Amino acid sequence: MKGGCDVARRRLLVASAALVADRPTLAQPRWPHPTLHGAPPLIIAHRGASGHRPEHTLAAYELAIEHGADFIEPDLVVTRDGGLIARHENELSLTTDVASRPQFADRRRTQLIDGRSVAGWFSEDFTLDEIRTLRATERFARERPRNAGFDGRFGIATLDEVIALAARANGSGERRVGVYPELKYAAHFASLGLAPEKRLADALKAAGARRPLPVFVQSFELQALRNFAEFSAAPRVMLLARPPTAAGLRDLATQVQGIGVAKALIYPRNAEGAIDAPTSLVKDAHELGLAVHAWTFRSEDAFLPANLLGQPQRELEMFFAAGVDGVFTDFPDTAVAQRRAAGGAG
């Protein structure tokens, strides 16, 4: 049975993600996405299996692959010397031990990022070698005390290490694990002379020269995706936290191949925090040829709808029934199991 699931997953990945190409063009046709034609949704390991290990660590990505995730997702920020590392923010104190390092005490500062005043330690103030001396810590220590027990055990992963991990998983030919990086704060880094788009494209191209990897690239910044398209033809996904207008969605369909949306844009929560009926967003996007990936699925009650406490599988079931093409999840094992229960690839 496992072999059959692997074959199904491999076919899904090959069909769903264009391989890194050498001749990109912004005005390219939409990517065909097999879930638009009945294939099961993709399971995207959000920052790795981050419900089980501290996020963005190689341990989290390795476990996600073991759990059967189709894609592993690194958020990318830039170091002072141009390295791409896997962190959700460029402010490092939320998920590393940087605040406890006396040699870096004088690096703490306050700056404006995307119009917000942020205080802390920033990736752009550290070299990659300095970043490598830091250790990862758990973001949700209260909700995930078991993860907090891993504090200090894992280092900070680079993009190249994440890509290499996926490539090793694909080495046997029995699995096709994709990489789904997010460009974070691209305009901010560009203002510092550290624009990440070409750096990412070059890393993907180098990886593809050895053996092509399934790839999607995402961002909340449409301009970053436009910039990236100048260097790579990898499929692009626009992230949305607010509902798009009909005209806005049509415009996106001319520039990207998919949208990654907050769960509430598909199943809004009512005043009591419960969900019931879906919106038309998935249908509307599919009519334009856009894939829809929903974020973020977490199993703890603190993150679940009020009417689904203790039922993370039921939440996934509802979104699968709504027709989403993929889910970003901290618990890829739960999502893979629910997809299998729904008749999809294991």
- What pLDDT does residue 7 have? 45
Please tell me the predicted confidence (pLDDT) of residue 33: 56
Q: Mean pLDDT throughout 56-63?
A: 98
pLDDT band at 30 (very low <50, low <70, confident <90, very high): low
Flag whether pLDDT at 231 surpasses 80: yes
The mean per-residue pLDDT over the stretch 260-274 comes to 98
Tell me 19's DSSP state. Answer: B
Q: Would you state the pLDDT for residue 311?
A: 98
In the chain, the percentage of residues whose pLDDT exceeds 70 is 88
Q: How sure is the predictor about 1, in pLDDT bands with cuts at 50, 70 and 90?
A: very low
Radius of gyration of the chain (CA): 19
Q: What is the pTM of this model?
A: 0.91
pLDDT at residue 176 greater than cutoff 60:
yes
Query: Residue 259: pLDDT above 70?
Result: yes
CA gap 99, 157 in Å, rounded: 19
Distance set, CA 164 to CA 168, 182, 332 (Å): 6, 17, 20
Q: Which residue has the higher pLDDT, 182 or 2?
A: 182
What value does the mean pLDDT take over residues 38-56?
96
pLDDT in tens, 146-168: 999 999 999 999 999 999 999 99
Name residues whose C-beta falls within 8 Å of residue 191's C-beta, 6 or more positions apart in sequence.
Answer: none
User: Does 25 have pLDDT greater than 90?
Assistant: no
For residue 4, pLDDT beyond 80: no
Please tell me the predicted confidence (pLDDT) of residue 175: 75
Instruction: Answer whether residue 196 shows pLDDT above 90.
Output: yes
CA 296 – CA 304 distance, rounded (Å): 10
* Whether residue 28 has pLDDT greater than 50: no
> Given phi > 0 = left and psi -120 to 50 = alpha, else beta, which region is 207?
alpha
Confidence at residue 271, expressed as pLDDT on a 0 to 100 scale: 97
Mean pLDDT of 72-101: 98
pLDDT at 23 over 80: no
Long-range contacts of 3-6 (CB under 8 A, 24+ apart): 3/174, 4/346, 5/68, 5/340, 5/345, 5/346, 6/174, 6/175
pLDDT of residue 50 exceeding 70, the answer is yes
Q: Which domains does the chain have, with CATH numbers?
A: 2-89+155-341 (3.20.20.190)
